[in-house]
Amino acid sequence: MDDDRTLLSKLDGALDILLKDRTTRRNIIWATDDYAHLGDGYEPEAQIQRRHAWEIKPRSQKEKDTQAGRTRSRAEVFTPLWICNAQINPVDDAVFGRKGVFNTTDESGRTIYPVSPLETIDFSPITWQKYVDLRRMEITCGEAPYITSRYDAATGEYVDICDRVGILDRKFRAVCENVRDNDAKIKWLLRAIESCYGYEFQGDSLLLARLNVMFSYMEVFKQEFGAYPNREHRTAAAWRVSWNFWQMNGRTYTVPMHALDKEAIQYDFAGDPYTPSEDPEEPPKRLAECRIYDHRARRSFRFTDFSKIDDTFSREIENNGR
């Protein structure tokens, strides 16, 4: 299995997409002073650039004092894989009306026994398609350990595809076991990504979350097709990831450290806001309200409005958000 730096080198133009903030149409920002000592371009309000992707480390690889500081300032505590599994399983238990659909555990819950890849998951009483389409959101997602368990966020230990327990990992398994046509399989792998959401304040953690989702897609793609996705498929996946995992202050539902014009914001046909001028003589600014995307309806909307939308999306997030 290729390491993350090798996967990063294969992203090419998809990395630019993964750096985008869909609300501001700029790049995501650092929103932390952990890198400020490195100089210009590393200030909390500075945008993260392509070169920075090679410098950002997962929490497990950060210095202990940096970990402690982020815990104090942002309550950043990354959950061990077994606890993620223990919290995801009851949601699936409720969906299927029984336990042990994807894995079982010992009495402590720490030892996980995934259902063998030689066995086919029984998705009754729902269909595998409905399971893939069930929308889930990981709030304050950090590196997105609940979405995909490519590695144990607490230790950094890599996890093989067949042993992963994340929300997206389970959806990917549903697709791989049930779809034989190649074009349909690619479609449903992307659809699995469309159903998983998460937001994070700190830009380095958000980029890691986006990369983990993207790398998981690439790894499963290679497992199924013998090669990593081409430019078209990388672009399609990255676009979805950049919409579904966004940078937000969870208390204000706005982009951290960013403001838009006080006047009414106008949006283009893709649902993106026009970038305002930064002329200091312009009227006062107001906070930029984050936008997310409903892939079934093919439209974006403000996160603060999701509970007002008359479709299943708002109910699913309310019922299934962690």
pLDDT beneath 70, residues of the chain: 59-77, 259-286, 307-322
Distance in angstroms (rounded) separating the CA atoms of residues 10 and 294: 28
Residue 242 falls inside a structural domain: yes
Residue 12 falls inside a structural domain: yes
- The neighbouring-strand residues paired with 254 are 249, 289
Residue 181 falls inside a structural domain: yes
Segment 143-190, tens digit of pLDDT = 999 999 999 988 899 999 999 999 999 999 999 999 999 999 999 999
Residue 233 falls inside a structural domain: yes
Helix (H) or strand (E) holding 138: strand 136-138
Indicate the pTM of the whole model. 0.86
Residue 128 falls inside a structural domain: yes
- The neighbouring-strand residues paired with 289 are 254
Q: Do the beta carbons of residue 220 and residue 176 sit within 8 Å? A: yes
Number of domains within the chain: 1
| Among the listed residues 191, 212, 209, the one whose alpha carbon sits nearest the alpha carbon of residue 199 | 209
Residue 266 falls inside a structural domain: no
Residue 289 falls inside a structural domain: no
pLDDT for res 78: 76
Distance in angstroms (rounded) separating the CA atoms of residues 263 and 205: 32
Q: Do the beta carbons of residue 113 and residue 181 sit within 8 Å? A: no
- Domain of 229 in residue numbering reads as 4-257
pLDDT for res 171: 98
Distance in angstroms (rounded) separating the CA atoms of residues 278 and 275: 9
Distance in angstroms (rounded) separating the CA atoms of residues 166 and 210: 14
Distance in angstroms (rounded) separating the CA atoms of residues 159 and 219: 12
Residue 98 falls inside a structural domain: yes
